[in-house]
Amino acid sequence: MFKSYQKAVSGILKTFVRTKKTDSVLNASTQKVVGQLSALSASRKQPKLIKLCKEDLIKHKTISNAWNVYKRQQMDKKQQQLDQQYESIYNAMEELKKLSPELFEIANQQELPKYPLEMRLPTDYPPTKPWVYNYAPAKQE
């Protein structure tokens, strides 16, 4: 399954095997509890307070507010563009529905999934079980 090779290092024969890297030796429930507790301790996630004099603090707040206004304008412009695109698509579909109902139905058919959901997706690490070359999807009754 995994390729292994032997290497002689200072007279000692070592065998190296390629396997998945595991970061933790904790079981799943312990990892879940640790994750929940780390979410409660938000001190690591908050940015440190900036210690500035009053004049620099006013400048900092002004620049931050200007940046937020700029970002809000960008978001509004993008949302307006998406709304216009949606409106255009809706109008085109309504026009198609009026001109040719058959084409409208064909355009709105649901596509079949291209990749079987049961198949394993490619990852960065080798699988724990080998690839099944003679895969057949489950029979639907």
pLDDT, tens digit, 9 for 90 and up, residues 42-95: 566 667 777 889 999 899 999 999 999 999 999 999 999 999 999 999 999 999
Asked if the structure places residue 27 within a domain, the reply is: no
- Higher-confidence position of 113 and 93: 93
The whole model's pTM is what? 0.44
83 located within any domain: yes
Within a domain: 57: yes
Mean pLDDT within 95-119: 84
Interatomic CA distance for residues 32 and 39, integer angstroms: 11
Residue 41 lies in a domain: no
The whole-number pLDDT of residue 124 equals 79
Query: How many folded domains does the chain comprise?
Result: 1
100: in domain: yes
Q: Distance (Å, rounded) from C-alpha 72 to C-alpha 64?
A: 12
Band of residue 98 on the pLDDT scale cut at 50, 70, 90: very high
Q: How far apart are alpha carbons 135 and 137 in whole angstroms? A: 7
Q: Which domain holds residue 93?
A: 52-108
**In-domain check, residue 59:** yes
Give the span between the Cα atoms of 9 and 3, in whole angstroms: 19
Q: What is the pLDDT of residue 1?
A: 46
In a domain, 86, yes or no: yes
Residue 36 counted as domain residue? no
Find tokens 């529905």 and name the residue.
Answer: 97
